[in-house]
Amino acid sequence: MCVQPAFIIGTNNEDGTYNFAPITWVSVTNEKENDYLLTISMFGTKKTKQNVIRTGILSVNLVSTDMLELMDYFGTHHAKDGKKDGIPYSVCRGDVVDVPILDASRWIYECEVVHSIEIGESTTFFCRIKNIQIDEQLECVDTFDVNLTKLEPVIYSGMYHSIGKLLGKIGDFTK
C-alpha cells in the first residue's frame, strides 16, 4: 500500500490548449537548505508526461474532496480520445509560470523541471517550485502550518479517502 495525496497536473499541449491528468506519485525532496523540489513520477506514454518532457513546465493542483468528480473524470478520460470537456470546470493561467491551473484547487504549485530520471517506463521529474497559490480561507502562517482538515485533500491508496481530524503538531506528544 502506498498512500498518496491526489493532484491534477496541468500542462500545455503543442497547439496551445491545456491538458489535465490526475497523478498521485507526488512528493518533495530537499536540494539544499530551504530549497525544496517537488518530485513527480509518471508512468507510460500519457499526453501529460509528453507535455512535461517537451515544455519543462507544469502546474500541480492539489485535489480537495469537492474536486473528486473532476479528478475521476480526468482519470477516466484520456487526451488521445479528444478534449476533456464533458463536465464544467474553470481554468486560468499561472501567475509566474505559463501553465494552466484549475480555479477549483485550493493549493497550486507552479513548477519548472530542473532534472528528470527515467526508470523503465516511468519518468520522475524534479521540479523547482516557482510559485504557490494558496486559498486565502486556509489561514496558514507558512506552508508547514496547514490544517489539512480545512484543506480536505483527497488521499489515494487504490481508492479515494479523506482526512478525518487534526491530531496535533510535532512535539505535542512528548514530555
Burial class (CB in 10 A: 0-12, 13-18, 19+), 100: buried
The domain locations on the chain are 4-161
What type of residue sits at position 30?
N
Residue 38 vs residue 80, higher pLDDT = 38
Residues 6+ apart with CB under 8 A from 65: 152, 153, 154, 162
The Cα 117–Cα 160 span in angstroms is 28
**pLDDT tens digits, 9-34:** 999 999 999 999 999 999 999 888 77
Do the beta carbons of residue 149 and residue 166 sit within 8 Å? yes
Whole-model pTM: value is 0.91
Please state, rounded to an integer, the average pLDDT across all residues of the chain. 91
CATH homologous superfamily for the domain 4-161:
Electron Transport, Fmn-binding Protein; Chain A (2.30.110.10)
